């Protein structure tokens, strides 16, 4: 009877032990997922937020330079001056496009994609206005349209830059949250390991009692 009771206790301990081990495996799986997401978050903060903020600032600087080029263009008196300014604008355009292309390769949220479409529309309108200005077609109107597009482009660049900060803060908050959960899971696993150790000790102790009980039976 006593042997049967000890056997049942041993089986119960074994079942609990298996359950605890499964809990450790599952918690370890979630901890790894959190760690992987943290790696992505840290990478995204730099590659998708900090670097684009720098690029957007440079794009805004290049966009401001276009105003000066337009003013020079307005007062250009010779074909040579106009050609020089056209080359200057082409260089500006090339540098701007490189930064914009790099920004487009980053992870973009829906609001960014929407602002980016508006930005690209403004850029196309500016190109058309500048092309008209270069050909001296309705110069005053083309100049005003070009300036308006520059102002609108700056507005969209400013909104995109502000968005980087907002999303960066959200990513940082998510990182802190995931770090907390990861720490909790790690502590949970340690506690489970302690419980497993305690159960193993108890099983060993019960096994010793069972051996002593068997010896008494054999002696009798």
Q: How many domains does the chain have?
A: 1
pLDDT number for residue 139: 62
pTM above 0.75, yes or no: no
In this structure, are residues 155 and 128 in contact, taking their beta carbons and an 8 Å threshold?
Answer: no
pLDDT number for residue 58: 93
Q: What is the Cα–Cα distance from 149 to 89, expressed in whole angstroms?
A: 15
- Cα angle 30, 31, 32 (rounded to 5 degrees) comes to 90
Q: Per-block average pLDDT, block size 10, for the chain (220 residues)?
A: 57 71 76 71 69 89 90 78 86 93 87 91 88 68 84 92 82 76 78 76 62 49
Counting other chains too, the contacts that 18-25 makes at CB distance below 8 Å and 24 or more residues apart are 20/192, 20/195, 20/196, 20/199, 21/196, 23/192, 24/189, 24/192, 24/193, 24/196
Task: Name the 3-class secondary structure at 115.
Answer: helix
Which residue's entry shows tokens 């307005």? 74
Chain centroid to CA 60: how far? 23
pLDDT number for residue 101: 92
What's the domain range around 19? Answer: 2-219
Residue 166's nearest CA partner among 27, 45, 8 is: 45
DSSP secondary structure code for residue 137 in this structure: S
Give me 57's structure tokens. Answer: 């600032």
């Amino acid at each position: 009877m006593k042997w049967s009771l000890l056997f049942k206790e041993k089986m119960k301990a074994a079942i609990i032990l298996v359950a605890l081990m499964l809990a450790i495996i599952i918690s370890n799986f979630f901890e790894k997922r959190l760690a992987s997401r943290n790696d992505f978050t840290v990478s995204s903060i730099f590659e998708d937020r900090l670097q684009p903020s720098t690029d957007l600032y440079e794009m805004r600087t290049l966009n401001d330079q276009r105003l000066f080029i337009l003013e020079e263009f307005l007062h250009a008196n010779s074909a040579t001056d106009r050609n020089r300014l056209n080359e200057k604008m082409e260089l500006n355009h090339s540098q701007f496009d490189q930064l914009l292309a790099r920004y487009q390769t980053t992870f973009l949220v829906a609001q960014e994609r929407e602002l980016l479409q508006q930005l690209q529309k403004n850029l196309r309108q500016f190109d058309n206005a500048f092309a008209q200005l270069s050909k001296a077609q309705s110069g005053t109107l083309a100049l005003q349209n070009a300036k308006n597009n520059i102002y609108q482009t700056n507005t969209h660049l400013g909104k995109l830059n502000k968005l980087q900060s907002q999303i960066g803060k959200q990513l940082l908050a998510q990182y802190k949250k995931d770090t907390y959960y990861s720490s909790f899971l790690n502590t949970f696993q340690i506690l489970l390991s302690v419980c497993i150790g305690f159960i193993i000790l108890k099983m060993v102790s019960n096994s010793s009692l069972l051996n002593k009980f068997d010896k008494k039976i054999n002696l009798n």
